Amino acid sequence: MAALISLEDVSKVYRMGDVEVQALQHVDLSIEEGEFVAVMGPSGSGKSTLMNIVGCLDRPTTGTYRLAGKEMGGLSRARLAEVRNRQIGFVFQHFNLLPRTSSLENVELPLVYAGLPARERQERALRALSRVGLADRADHQPNQLSGGQQQRVAIARAVVNDPHLIVADEPTGALDTRTSMEVMAIFQELGRAGVTILLVTHEADIGRCAGRIVTMRDGRILGDRRQTPLRADPARTPPLTAEATA
């Protein structure tokens, strides 16, 4: 099976004033379609940069990145926007919903840029909302929703375009343990439905819900192992881990 995501010798260098920051150094990574991958590592390890490149928000300085077999490095900003729109769904730590805008309209947003007519947008957005169990919150604005609900709206927005890939940057970082598990359960469900998921986290609990863990440090990949994912079950939380009792 061809890899959905393929990074070959990818490096990313930022210039901050006079200082050059090596955010990624010669990274090779290949992710098959349908995999649920957690990228872990301390802050500054380059996992966010990796995610931005995989999510087509950023371009590598050197090396090649192929998404579904297509080279992304040379694409214009407008073409990259199209790729994001059609093939990638984003979930962010701070939800990044449009304020004072209903859940339904937030979820519709990618479809607006896909150029779909209003009626179809609404139908698909409602379907995506029911997929995350929030069909009854379609008219609510973000400030009327709890953190977990907001993140579920964000996930609905990420899947509304039926993307191959969902890129999630610390999606549980702003949530308590119980709602974190709720959100992870949704990700696992999406994974079972065949969506490829790349999730950045530094929480071990969250990482255990993925089928593969990529560990990063100082812009390099340190480890890459497959595991049997732990089923995220909100009912069973909070688990009495050392972290929780400390």
- Interface contacts to another protein, rule CB under 8 A: 52, 55, 57-58, 77-78, 81-82, 84-86, 90, 92, 96-100, 109-110, 112-115, 118, 157, 161
What's the closest the beta carbon of residue 34 comes to another protein, in angstroms?
A: 23
228 vs 66: CA distance, rounded Å:
27
Instruction: Kindly tell me which of 114 and 135 has the beta carbon lying closer to another protein.
Output: 114
Instruction: Kindly tell me which of 2 and 98 has the beta carbon lying closer to another protein.
Output: 98
What's the closest the beta carbon of residue 90 comes to another protein, in angstroms?
A: 5
Number of Cβ atoms within 10 Å of the Cβ of 134: 22
Instruction: Kindly tell me which of 112 and 204 has the beta carbon lying closer to another protein.
Output: 112
What's the closest the beta carbon of residue 177 comes to another protein, in angstroms?
A: 26
41 vs 119: CA distance, rounded Å:
43
What's the closest the beta carbon of residue 115 comes to another protein, in angstroms?
A: 7
Instruction: Kindly tell me which of 22 and 93 has the beta carbon lying closer to another protein.
Output: 93
Query: Distance from first CA to last CA of the chain, Å, rounded?
Result: 45
Residue 159 in tokens: 């899947």
Phi/psi zone of residue 69: left (φ > 0), alpha (ψ -120 to 50 degrees), beta?
A: left
246 vs 244: CA distance, rounded Å:
6
